[in-house]
Homo-oligomer: A and B are copies of this chain.
Amino acid sequence: MRHSKPSLLDVADALAKLREKIPAIGPAEEMGVDESIERVLARDIYSQVDIPAHDLSLMDGYALRSASATRASRRHPVQLKVTGELYPSSSPNELRLRSGDAAYVATGAPLPRGADSVVMVENVERSGSHVTIFRKPAIGESVAKRGEDIRRGLLLRKGTVLRAQDVGALRGIGRKRVQVAQRPRVGILSVGDELVRQASQDPTMAVGNYALILSLFLRELPVTVEILGICPDRLERVRQKVKETLDRIDLLITTGGTSAGAKDIVVDALASVEEGGWIHRGLRLRPGHTTAVGLVRGKPIVALPGVIIPAVAGLYALAVPLLEHLIGLPQETLLPKVPAVIDSDTKKRNVLSFQPLRLSRHKNGLVATPVGGGAGLLSRLIDSNGFVLVPPKSEYKRGETIDVTPYAPSELTHIEEI
């Protein structure tokens, strides 16, 4: 039994060391635009076209040359000859207006050549092949100018996480394929004789609910997650499983077996995979000081404790920042942050502290309430919807505005109104 206290590493130092040693994954991947939602652009996107491609009518109405109706008024209306009809499916070249001509244009139709304005249908009188105008339209009235929406040139920057409207814009400029950053492949391996026993008694429990929770917390991020199953607390078994797996994943997360007891073989198992590997147990993180980080065969590893709150603390303090790095994103961009007023003081500690928070919506903003309790209580996660990582030697005072990170973007749908 190893009862010695480990030397504790700062979380920031651990991350810096790993970031220095591992590159962002690559190369970029090409995929269909329609499927690219929430993926990260690997290149700047330039539009080769103007949108709209032609001046369009914004109304159902009549297109004309403004100069044709210069003197139009209620008392002295001007009558124009309707020489055609244009619809959104028409081409502007179908018709050329001369002075004194007008054309019916539906909303979204291109203006015919020679037209510079539109009078809406409600403000005219149509009679046979003529239309009567009672007011001179301004040049450009009720017209969407060519390129007014999207101009040729830079549309979206490399690093943009694609949203619905971005995907729609890519489609709109005629893009069908797009280069995006690969999704890091995360593997989650659960270690523990108790899990093996549970799974042997009931094979449907073989996932282990901590691995399930961690995988679901990562679900909304541009990563893929593989649940690697369960290993008993046996060094050789863990070692074998890690060796088998490292080739096909970009980040390994383990749960359990990082404590200092006789059965806590995960760190030794990881260290045994590769001669030159680096693995450090003991971080200045609370809860979760027994978390281990490492780099084995070039792949980052986060070995989380087998207790739910420390495991989640390590997920957000270590694994998510490493995923941002692997994707090539700046730090703290994968998860939203929302400002909220904290309603009680946090403790000042020497280490980075993970504090679950319950957000509620009050009249003048969001309020964040620390959710306390034991490190093993899943109910703390159920009662909270986000967290703050309080930096070492820092504290937050009641009434202060802090940035709260929801466990996942969808958590914000679950905020109670007070």
Question: Is there contact, CB below 8 Å, between B164 and A408?
Answer: yes
Residues of A within 8 A of B (CB): 1, 3, 5, 34, 37-38, 51-52, 56, 58, 60, 85, 87-89, 104, 106-108, 121-122, 126, 144, 148-150, 161, 163-169, 171-172, 174, 176, 192-194, 196-197, 202, 204-205, 207, 209-210, 212-213, 216-217, 219-220, 233, 259-264, 305-307, 333-339, 361-366, 374-379, 381-382, 385, 401, 403, 406-415
Docked pose: A70 CA to B415 CA in angstroms: 48
Question: Is there contact, CB below 8 Å, between B216 and A37?
Answer: yes
User: In the complex, what residues of B have CB within 8 A of residue A410's CB?
Assistant: 38, 163, 220, 336, 409-410
Docked pose: A351 CA to B49 CA in angstroms: 36
Question: Is there contact, CB below 8 Å, between B168 and A413?
Answer: no
Question: Is there contact, CB below 8 Å, between A58 and B106?
Answer: no
Q: A192-B88, A193-B88, A409-B412 are in contact. Are A165 and B378 (CB under 8 A)?
A: yes
Question: Is there contact, CB below 8 Å, between B413 and A161?
Answer: yes
Question: Is there contact, CB below 8 Å, between A169 and B382?
Answer: yes
User: In the complex, what residues of B have CB within 8 A of residue A5's CB?
Assistant: 122
Question: Is there contact, CB below 8 Å, between B107 and A259?
Answer: yes
Question: Is there contact, CB below 8 Å, between B365 and A337?
Answer: no
Q: A164-B217, A376-B149, A412-B338 are in contact. Are A306 and B381 (CB under 8 A)?
A: no
Question: Is there contact, CB below 8 Å, between A167 and B212?
Answer: yes
Question: Is there contact, CB below 8 Å, between A89 and B196?
Answer: yes
Q: Which of chain B's residues has its CB closest to A202's CB? A: B174
User: In the complex, what residues of B have CB within 8 A of residue A379's CB?
Assistant: 149-150, 169
Q: A106-B263, A410-B38 are in contact. Are A194 and B164 (CB under 8 A)?
A: no
Q: A165-B407, A260-B60 are in contact. Are A209 and B339 (CB under 8 A)?
A: no
Docked pose: A377 CA to B108 CA in angstroms: 12
Question: Is there contact, CB below 8 Å, between A176 and B204?
Answer: yes
Q: Which of chain B's residues has its CB closest to A364's CB? A: B401
Contact of A306 among B107, B305, B366 (CB under 8 A): B107
Q: Which of chain B's residues has its CB closest to A197's CB? A: B89
User: In the complex, what residues of B have CB within 8 A of residue A406's CB?
Assistant: 412
User: In the complex, what residues of B have CB within 8 A of residue A407's CB?
Assistant: 163-165
Q: Which of chain B's residues has its CB closest to A338's CB? A: B338
Contact of A414 among B87, B161, B174, B306 (CB under 8 A): B161
User: Would you give 5 A-B contacts (Cβ < 8 Å), ordered by A?
Assistant: A5-B122, A37-B216, A220-B410, A336-B412, A338-B366
User: In the complex, what residues of B have CB within 8 A of residue A209's CB?
Assistant: 168-169, 171-172
Contact of A34 among B52, B193, B207 (CB under 8 A): B207
Question: Is there contact, CB below 8 Å, between A52 and B376?
Answer: yes
Nearest chain B CB to A89 CB, angstrom units: 4
User: In the complex, what residues of B have CB within 8 A of residue A260's CB?
Assistant: 60, 121
Contact of A165 among B106, B197, B202, B381 (CB under 8 A): B381
Q: Which of chain B's residues has its CB closest to A143's CB? A: B374
User: In the complex, what residues of B have CB within 8 A of residue A233's CB?
Assistant: 87
Nearest chain B CB to A2 CB, angstrom units: 10
Nearest chain B CB to A383 CB, angstrom units: 9
User: In the complex, what residues of B have CB within 8 A of residue A415's CB?
Assistant: 336-337
Q: A5-B122, A213-B167 are in contact. Are A336 and B261 (CB under 8 A)?
A: no
Q: Which of chain B's residues has its CB closest to A56's CB? A: B376
User: In the complex, what residues of B have CB within 8 A of residue A192's CB?
Assistant: 88-89
Docked pose: A412 CA to B334 CA in angstroms: 10
Name the 4 nearest CB pairs between A and B, nearest first. A164-B216, A168-B213, A88-B194, A336-B412
